[in-house]
Amino acid sequence: MASGDERRVALITGITGQDGSYLAEFLLEKGYDVHGIIRRASSFNTARIQHLYADPKCHRQGKMKLHYGDMTDSSSLIKVISSVQPTEIYNLAAQSHVMVSFEVSEYTAEVDAVGTVRLLDAIRTCGLEKSVKFYHASTSELYGRVTQVPQNEKTPFYPRSPYACAKLYSFWIVVNYREAYNMFACNGILFNHESPRRGENFVTRKVTRSIAKIHLDLQDVLELGNLDAKRDWGHAKDYVEAMWLMLQQPTPDDYVIATGETHSVRDFVEAAFRYVGRTIKWTGEGVNEIGQDAETGQLLVKVNSKYFRPTEVDVLLGDATKAREKFGWKPTVSFEDLVKDMMDSDLELMRKNPNA
């Protein structure tokens, strides 16, 4: 595509995921034609974008189109890129669960590491490397065993999981293709971001789902792993805007996106219980720790060693000064409001469908 192309055509890998769904909404709102790559699955995997697909403005007028493909299949990536001729590509597809990456380490590397270079090479095969703008979903997990708090773009990496090792490769291949082929390619080093659309087995969503169920007498106890891990949790809606902003800058670069606040898993649990009017009293230590209702003594939280990771990331706290100074990005949703948004959504979900 010639430079000076005025079309606004985005291709999103991972469009069915938490971030992909918010990003698709955001780009459609901005007037983009949005294309997404979806995987074949034995049951529907488009729940998060169903509302967009059903919207006549998006689907029937051709503003949003889905294409089958897979990050492990170069030919599908080439076919989609060649037919869509995107002006921006957002690479969000990944096996994104850190704990699961210890179980399926080779597959995680295939998708999260080799998948990225497949996609970059597909862009080159289609002759779009001079025109397309490329965003890659990098991660605070790269900081792993913490050497510096807070973490910024200059903090050394020390990955602590097969997921983080795969994402480390992707980070550097994006930098390398930027330097080698002059591609407009950016890494967004995003710290944890959550929402009512967060996958059910990430800790925040697991907590809000379980507490909603406990509140409605649909579940007895919440079982968790390491309560002392600390994360810098923001809202996914804020973070997809940062992805887009990176691609609107005059030159490509890598940016940390974070709130600049950190909270432990324990803090999150306490805040979510507080939202439904309960205070937790903790007793015991390590795998023997429990959380009880401070008034009634009811057992509410148990630690289960099966949720502990072989190697843990203890504390993440991001410094997003560069993104703020370069393009004015800052988070709009506080920790308490994030908890509220997720709790409200899960309470409503469980009231409507107790088996959810």
Residue 230 phi, psi (nearest 5)? -115, 135
3-state secondary structure string across 136-199: EEEEHHHHCCCCCCCECCCCCCCCCCHHHHHHHHHHHHHHHHHHHHCCEEEEEEECCEECCCCC
Round to whole Å and give the CA distance between 203 and 209: 10
Q: How far is the CB of 170 from ligand NDP (least distance, A)?
A: 9
Check residue 312 for interaction with ligand GDR (CB under 6 A): yes
**Options 55-63, 78-86, 138-146, 331-339: segment touching ligand GDR (CB under 6 A):** 138-146
DSSP string, 208-264: HHHHHHHHTTS-S-EEES-SS-EE--EEHHHHHHHHHHHHTSSS---EEE--S--EE
DSSP state for residue 114 in the 8-state scheme: I
Q: Which of 102, 199, 267, 324 binds ligand NDP (CB under 6 A)?
A: 199
Round to whole Å and give the CA distance between 188 and 103: 26
Check residue 203 for interaction with ligand GDR (CB under 6 A): yes
Check residue 265 for interaction with ligand GDR (CB under 6 A): yes
**Options 118-126, 199-207, 234-242, 332-340: segment touching ligand GDR (CB under 6 A):** 199-207
Q: Which helix (H) or strand (E) holds 119?
A: helix 115-125
Binding mask 114-153 for ligand NDP (x = CB under 6 A): -----------------------x-x--------------
Check residue 162 for interaction with ligand NDP (CB under 6 A): no
Q: Which of 102, 158, 202, 282 binds ligand GDR (CB under 6 A)?
A: 202
Q: Which does 312 bind (CB under 5 to 8 A by kind): ligand NDP, ligand GDR, none?
A: ligand GDR
* Residues in binding contact with ligand GDR, number by CB under 6 A: 22
* Cβ count within 10 A of residue 231: 25
CB-count burial class (<10 Å; 0-12, 13-18, 19+) for 278: buried
Q: Which of 20, 150, 162, 196 binds ligand NDP (CB under 6 A)?
A: 20
Check residue 226 for interaction with ligand GDR (CB under 6 A): yes
Check residue 201 for interaction with ligand NDP (CB under 6 A): no
Query: For this structure, is 139 an active site residue?
Result: yes
Q: How far is the CB of 93 from ligand NDP (least distance, A)?
A: 3
Q: Output 215 or 255, the one with its CB closest to ligand NDP.
A: 255
* Cβ count within 10 A of residue 97: 16
| Catalytic residue selected from 32, 90, 163, 275 | 163
Q: Name which of residues 52 to 111 contact ligand NDP (CB under 6 A).
A: 70-72, 92-96, 111
Residue with tokens 């606040």: 261
The residue whose Cβ lies closest to ligand GDR is 229
Side-chain-side CA neighbours of 220 within 13 Å: the count stands at: 3
Q: Output 195 or 226, the one with its CB closest to ligand GDR.
A: 226
Active site residues: 139, 141, 163
